[in-house]
Amino acid sequence: QVQLVESGGGLVQPGGSLRLSCAFSGSLFRVYTMGWYRQAPGKQRELVASITSGGTTNYADPVKGRFTISRDNAKNTVYLQMNSLKPEDTGVYYCNARITPTTYWGQGTQVTVSS
């Protein structure tokens, strides 16, 4: 059984930075594609960034050049470095672990970008 625990969310001013972490407990972290999703109030959950077992990354257009996803297979952890944050980045950020056909979700961490 896989469990995902996010941390690092909070309140930040526009232009600021945050680093989210997702700790993976379970087996074979290295084979999972890991992703970060977010859900803004009244909107659907959307993909922010993902990283495959081989290290290939993918980003949603609104965050390209500002966010960086990375993984540390020795620590069973995936990170999301968020720079130049904007108010529209506000939402609950969820960690996702996927190996077809199975997917797991964390409980989410709130990110609020406001002055």
Element (H, E) at 24: strand 18-25
pLDDT tens-digit series, residues 2-27: 999 999 999 999 999 999 999 999 98
pLDDT classification of 1: cutoffs 50, 70, 90: confident
Kindly state the percentage of the chain with pLDDT values over 70.
100
The per-residue pLDDT for 99 is 94
Residues ≥6 apart with Cβ < 8 Å to 33: 50, 51, 52, 53, 97, 98, 99
pLDDT in tens, 62-114: 999 999 999 999 999 999 999 999 999 999 999 999 998 999 999 999 999 99
Distances (CA, A) of 69 to 1, 20, 22, 51, 83: 24, 9, 11, 7, 12
